[in-house]
């Protein structure tokens, strides 16, 4: 494949290495110095784009690529209030869009485990809470992964009806506690506590490799397709 990279930070560089190792080529690299050149990415030069940028620029980057009818894999978080807008725009442009809050295979297994545990814990008298820890360069809080976990818990457990990004004493609110620590790729804990015991599931990322590899696999999956996809499609969950 000929792949465009929109965003060339640590994640973009990790993705580039995996792409080259798997025999693909890089058609275009967009970073903060040449951001206007995102409009130059076309189907003639690029089969698919992988985008990891900042929350404030993700939406415009995604729509610029879709406008030129190039399929795009997005891993940016912090812009999801506009998700349906992008889905509708993708369909209007008749191209492909793949989004995941986290591209790690392990995290996506963790999402499913979280949903199953939430069902089992409903009405059992346990309080629940979430903790997410990331590196200090992460700009949004809570993380997109934490939001996906919270939504999965709430959808499968009527003990909670909403989430807040702070401690709470309201029984129906799920607290997500966000911490930022140097050099932490990503840690997510979901905890259920009662007077007699505590049950906790946890995912700890050791490096960015798993995220980068999943994004490349998503690009390989999306190339040549039209429509909107997620990790559930890629992993056949």
Residue 10: in which H helix or E strand, if any?
helix 10-21
Residue 74: in which H helix or E strand, if any?
strand 72-74
* Residue 82, marked binder: no
* Residue 100, marked binder: yes
Least Cα distance to 5 among 164, 45, 236, 79 occurs for 45
Residues noted as catalytic: 134, 138
* Residue 145, marked binder: yes
* Residue 76, marked binder: yes
* Residue 218, marked binder: no
Evaluated on CA atoms 211, 213, 218, 224, the torsion sign reads: positive
C-beta neighbour count of 152 within 10 angstroms:
20
Q: CA angle at residue 48 from 56 to 43, to 5 degrees?
A: 105
* Residue 180, marked binder: no
Least Cα distance to 221 among 234, 210, 232, 237 occurs for 234
Q: Are strands 96-99 and 127-134 parallel, antiparallel or unpaired?
A: unpaired
* Residue 102, marked binder: yes
* Residue 47, marked binder: no
Q: Are strands 173-180 and 162-164 parallel, antiparallel or unpaired?
A: parallel
* Residue 103, marked binder: yes
d(CA 235, CA 176): 27
Binding residues for NADP(+): 22
Binding residues for NAD(+): 21, 75-77, 100-103
Binding residues for (S)-2,3,4,5-tetrahydrodipicolinate: 135, 144-145
Binding residues: 21-22, 75-77, 100-103, 135, 144-145
């Amino acid at each position: 494949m000929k792949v465009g990279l929109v965003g060339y930070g640590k994640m973009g560089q990790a993705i580039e290495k995996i792409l080259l190792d798997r025999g693909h080529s890089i058609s275009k690299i967009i970073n903060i110095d040449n951001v206007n050149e995102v409009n130059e990415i076309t189907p003639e030069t690029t089969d698919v784009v992988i985008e990891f940028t900042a929350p404030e620029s993700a939406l415009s980057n995604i729509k610029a690529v879709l406008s030129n009818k190039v399929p795009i894999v997005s891993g940016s978080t912090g812009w999801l209030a506009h998700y349906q807008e992008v889905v509708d725009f993708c369909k209007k442009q008749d191209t492909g869009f793949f989004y995941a809050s986290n591209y790690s295979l392990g995290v996506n297994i963790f999402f499913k485990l979280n949903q199953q545990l939430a069902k089992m814990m409903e009405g059992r008298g346990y309080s629940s809470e979430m903790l997410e820890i990331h590196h200090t360069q992460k700009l949004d809080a809570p993380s997109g992964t934490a939001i996906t976990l919270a939504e999965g818990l709430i959808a499968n457990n009527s003990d909670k009806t909403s989430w807040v990004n702070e401690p709470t004493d309201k029984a129906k609110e799920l607290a997500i506690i966000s911490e930022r620590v140097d050099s932490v790729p990503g840690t997510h804990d979901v905890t259920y506590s009662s007077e007699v015991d505590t049950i906790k599931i946890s995912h700890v990322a050791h490096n960015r490799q798993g995220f980068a590899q999943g994004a490349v696999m998503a690009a390989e999956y999306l190339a040549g397709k039209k429509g909107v996809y997620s990790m559930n499609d890629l992993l056949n969950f």
